[in-house]
């Protein structure tokens, strides 16, 4: 089985702009509330099972954390749960926010 792919910010933006993608923020809910990638969903230990059950596994899934380390494990886990195209953003949210707009709640 093919594993997840690590992608840079440019590639992530390309996939997001194509639309029909699921974006997962695995940082603390508090940090998510403060700022996140537009259309991203906050997923944590309490919500992950429900997220997996309700989410279309055929849509590309991009996950990110703070610096791109934890999201690698998360991406691997989502791949194991049956998601087809799974990506982890290299450099995580910190890299994203230096070059792209974010959403503040």
Q: Residue 48: what pLDDT?
A: 96
What's the predicted TM-score (pTM) here? 0.93
pLDDT value for 105:
59
pLDDT of residue 1: 55
63 catalytic residue (yes or no): no
Question: Higher confidence at residue 13 or residue 1?
Answer: 13
Q: Which residues contact 16 (CB under 8 A, 6 or more apart)?
A: 23, 37, 39, 62
**Which band of pLDDT confidence, cut at 50, 70 and 90, is reported for residue 99?**
confident
CA 73/CA 96 separation, integer angstroms: 19
Q: Tens digits of per-residue pLDDT, 9-49? A: 999 999 999 999 999 999 999 999 999 999 999 999 999 99
Structural domains of the chain, with CATH = 5-99 (3.40.250.10)
- Given 63, 65, 75, 95, which residue is catalytic? 65
What is the 8-class DSSP label of residue 84?
Answer: S
- Under 8 Å CB-to-CB from 45, ≥6 apart: which residues? none
Query: Is the pLDDT reported for residue 92 higher than 90?
Result: yes
54 CB burial (10 A radius; 0-12, 13-18, 19+): exposed
């Amino acid at each position: 089985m093919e594993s997840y792919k690590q992608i840079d910010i440019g590639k992530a933006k390309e996939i997001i702009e194509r639309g029909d993608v699921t974006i997962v923020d695995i940082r603390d809910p508090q940090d998510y509330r403060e700022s996140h990638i537009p259309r991203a969903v906050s997923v944590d230990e309490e919500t992950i099972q429900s997220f997996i059950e309700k989410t279309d596994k055929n849509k590309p899934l991009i996950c990110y954390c703070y610096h791109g380390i934890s999201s690698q494990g998360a991406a691997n886990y989502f791949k194991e749960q049956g998601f087809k195209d799974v990506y982890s953003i290299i450099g995580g949210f910190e890299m994203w926010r230096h070059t792209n707009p974010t959403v503040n709640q």
